[in-house]
Copies of this chain bind each other. A is one copy, B any other.
Amino acid sequence: MTETRWLTADEQRAWRAYLEATILLFDALDRQLQHDSGLPHTYYEILVRLSEADGRAMRMSELADATRSSRSRLSHAVARLEERGWLERVDCETDKRGQVAVLTDKGFAALEAAAPGHVAAVRRHLIDQLSAEQIGQLEQIGTVVLKALESPECQAVRAADE
């Protein structure tokens, strides 16, 4: 282990501002969705991804990757959503181990009802606070960080823990 490289003052400020803003933002979005639609944000994302997919259906692991969720988390979440009748699980044709999650009409309707309030909250708290330039910067930053976290060496560390 080499000597710790602590954060500089600039880095500290950036990290703290990002961290605190994100905590408050995610809390606010979760609160809004839960209050108005009875969904946590992770469940909302599952519905969104399914609604955008061909036939409103996706394999479980594809859906887990798309929503940046663990397999386990997704399994639990899908089980809850199935109880509500918002989606169904059917066996996969080509792989007998596989399951396909399919959004029901009821689930699609629930998503349509939830979306406007959620988008409004994302706008109010985030998008409409930023200049067009800052929106571009945020995309760049997000993309770079995402790429690093998806890189092979990073995946290897995750896999080593499982």
Q: Are A146 and B4 in contact (CB under 8 A)?
A: no
A26 CB to nearest chain B CB (Å): 8
> What residues of B have a CB within 8 angstroms of the CB of A22 in the complex?
22, 26, 142
Q: Give residues in A with beta carbon < 8 Å to B.
A: 1, 4-7, 10-11, 13-28, 31, 35, 68, 115-116, 119-120, 122-127, 129-130, 132, 134-146, 148-150, 154, 158, 161
Give the interface SS of chain A, mostly helix, strand, loop or mixed. Answer: helix
Q: Are A6 and B119 in contact (CB under 8 A)?
A: yes
Q: How many copies does the complex hold?
A: 2
> Which B-chain residue is minimally distant from A150 (CB atoms)?
B24
Q: Are B158 and A7 in contact (CB under 8 A)?
A: no
Counting from the closest, the 3 A-B pairs by CB-CB distance are A17-B142, A14-B139, A21-B145
With A1-B116, A119-B5, A149-B125 in contact, do A135 and B31 touch (Cβ < 8 Å)?
no
> A138 is contacted by which of B17, B23, B132 (Cβ under 8 Å)?
B17
> Which B-chain residue is minimally distant from A137 (CB atoms)?
B137
